[in-house]
Structures are given as structure tokens and as C-alpha cells.
Amino acid sequence: MPRLLSAARSELGAVAALLIVAGGLLAFLHVSDEVAEGDTRAFDLAVLKALRLPGDPNSLIGPKWLHLAATDITALGSVTVLGLIVVLALALMLCLKRWSEALVVLVGAGGGVAISQGLKQLFGRERPDLVYRAVEAANPSFPSGHAMLSAVVFLTLGALAARFAPLKRIKALALGAAVVLSVLVGASRIYLGVHWTSDVLAGWSLGAAWAMACWVAAWAWERRFGAPAISPRGTNAP
């Protein structure tokens, strides 16, 4: 037991990531089961109605600037914007010859898209009625692709940045920014009426689990085959 506790303390990041993977998968399975049974319908509809003016499902609550801000924020979770972020991140890593990190980002983003689209076709859930939608949306509703893919991309990049950041406050900033961006994107999908709340909860859960699974795989590869590809000083490790 003392050896196990010592190992856990020395690899706290990996332990935390594994816990997120397990918790995310369990949360997704629970939400998906509730959605399949139709048990989330009343809750999802109540949330949508609470975000609309009484008796007018076409009108969002809140000031006009909030509507515009939500539209801008939701674009951060689109395939186009996330694709550009991934391409730029890959270009940077390849220029610095950080092959393992580039592979993690590529597999994470590509796998996230494949998982999201596959589950959408499997569940085939209808989106909220058109009267609730403030922006256009296509494809089935469950899980939220914006919520899932933003969690995958931002958390993967945040975890990689935190892994090699020299200061704790920089690690906290990287991870905190990733979480905040993911939460804002998912919340905007609910507010704009293009997703049910359960869609977004499932997207967050599965996205976080997949991002951390990719991170753990990279960590295990590093432990098995050699030193980190990046040192805290930003140079290639010997």
C-alpha cells in the first residue's frame, strides 16, 4: 500500500486523467441511457423554456449583446474553427519536431469527430423544434458535437501545455482556460436552442473522457519508450 500511494503521488496527473476518463464514460452512459428511455424530455424542455420569454419561444431572455456573444462563442466549437486551431497547433508542433504531441492532437481531434458522428447516427435524436432555434443547425442532436469536440480539442491542448509548463500557475491557466472555453461553447448551444441540455452534458462527458484517454496514452508511451519530447525550457529533451 505505501508503494501504491507513493506511485500515485508521483504520477498525480495520470491518476487524475484516468479518473476523468472513468467518470466521463460513466456519466455519458448514464445520460445516454436516460435519453434512450425518454426520461430527460421534461427536463430538457423545461430548460429551453426557461431561456425564452414567457409565452414567446422565439425570443431569448437577456440583452441583445448576450445573443450576439452566444453566437460568437458557439462558433468556437464548430468544425471549421476547431479544424483551423488543430491545423495551426499541428503546424507548430511539426516545426518544433514534437512528433508525439502532434500525433496526440491529430488522433484526438480525428477520433473525436468520428465518435461524435457515429453516435449521432446511432441515436438519431431530433433537435429542439425550429421555434426555439436562434441559429441554424444540421445533423442529429445527441451528443452535442460542439460540446464534445471543443472539450476534446481544448482539453487536449490544455493538458499538453500543462504537462510541459514550468510553473504551476501556467499549468492552472492552461487547464482552466480549456475548461472555461468548453463550458462556454456547450452552454451557448443550449442557450441558442439548437441542443437539449442532455445533449451537451453527454458531449462534455465523452469529450473530456476521450481527451484524457489520448493524454494517458501519450503519457504511457513516453514512460515506456523514452523521455518527454518537450522539456520545461522549451527545448528537445535529451
Cα radius of gyration rounded to whole Å, the chain: 19
Q: Is 146 a catalytic residue?
A: yes
Helical pair 41-50 and 197-225, crossing angle rounded to 10 deg: 110
User: Rounded CA gap, 57 and 38, in Å?
Assistant: 22
Q: Is 195 a catalytic residue?
A: yes
Given a contact cutoff of 8 angstroms between Cβ atoms, the answer to whether 25 and 213 are in contact is no
Which one of 21, 151, 195, 203 is the catalytic residue? 195
**53 DSSP β-pair partners:** 56
Contacts of 193 (CB under 8 A, 6+ apart): 48, 51, 52, 60, 128, 132, 133, 134
Which one of 98, 120, 127, 146 is the catalytic residue? 146
Instruction: For residue 235, count CB atoms less than 10 angstroms from its CB and return exposed for 0-12, middle for 13-18, buried for 19 or more.
Output: exposed
Q: Which residues are catalytic?
A: 146, 195
